[in-house]
Amino acid sequence: MSPTAQGDTPKDAPEHCPGTESTQAGKAEACAGCPNQQVCATTPKGPDPALITSNLRSVKHKLLILSGKGGVGKSTFTSQLAFALAHDPETRNSDVIEVGVMDVDICGPSIPKIMGLEGEQGHQSGSGWQPVYVQDNLAVMSIGFLLNDPDDVIIWRGPKKNGGYYIRLLVFVTPSSHPA
């Protein structure tokens, strides 16, 4: 497929191209005659489960903090638990526990504010988005880091905002020398 000009639309695509990630890619009326039509129609869409599994393999413990309701303290609990795990006094002079918080609340990401990271930005690299570090062993990634202004609105529909759950994922990696 041709390199992309903007987003997921190939440079040589027709004017009304639905984009390579669309379920209509290669199938929409606008795709007729496009040199990328066959590639777009057959390329898998969405996240790669094998890549996600591979990336999470090194994470020994994963905790999911979720609720179907807002305002119940998920962000507060997540941030306090993350700080507590990262500051575990039993690991001070031995192996350090690495803790990560992933905030996927698109309705009002508050983790950056609660954890003192307002104004920080996420950085994209060849291996994906890089988290912001609160301290050497406590990393945070939030949709809030991707917004230009904390008051910006995120409009996602369908598969991007599915299920109506507000989620915080707290992950922490214990060094291999620690018992399971």
What does the alpha-carbon distance between residue 161 and residue 167 come to, in Å, rounded to a whole number? 11
pLDDT value of residue 69: 79
Backbone phi and psi for residue 128, each to the nearest 5 degrees, phi listed first: 115, -165
In contact, 78 and 111? CB cutoff 8 Å: yes
pLDDT value of residue 162: 44
Q: Give the pair of three-digit tokens for residue 18.
A: 């639905």
Q: Give the pair of three-digit tokens for residue 73.
A: 């303290």
Tens-digit pLDDT profile for residues 142-156 = 988 888 887 777 766
- Please state the separation of Cα 155 from the chain's center in Å: 16
Query: Of 120, 116, 117, which Cα lies nearest the Cα of 146?
Result: 120
What does the alpha-carbon distance between residue 5 and residue 20 come to, in Å, rounded to a whole number? 12
Q: Digits of tens for pLDDT over the chain (180 positions)?
A: 433 333 466 777 778 888 777 788 888 888 888 888 888 888 777 677 787 788 788 888 888 888 877 788 889 999 999 999 888 666 555 677 889 998 877 777 889 999 999 989 888 777 778 899 999 899 999 988 888 887 777 766 544 444 444 445 555 554 433 343
Q: Give the pair of three-digit tokens for residue 123.
A: 């950085």
pLDDT value of residue 132: 93
pLDDT value of residue 123: 81
Q: Give the pair of three-digit tokens for residue 98.
A: 């690495």
DSSP symbols for 2-56: PPEEETTEETT--TT---TTSTTTTTSGGGTT-TTHHHHHHS--S--HHHHHHHH
Place of tokens 């190939």: 10
The residue type of 89 is: P
What does the alpha-carbon distance between residue 166 and residue 60 come to, in Å, rounded to a whole number? 23
pLDDT value of residue 80: 94
Tens-digit pLDDT profile for residues 77-113 = 999 999 998 886 665 556 778 899 988 777 778 899 9
Q: Which helix (H) or strand (E) holds 136?
A: none
Enter the pTM of the model: 0.63
**CATH numbers and ranges of domains, the chain:** 26-57 (no CATH), 58-175 (3.40.50.300)
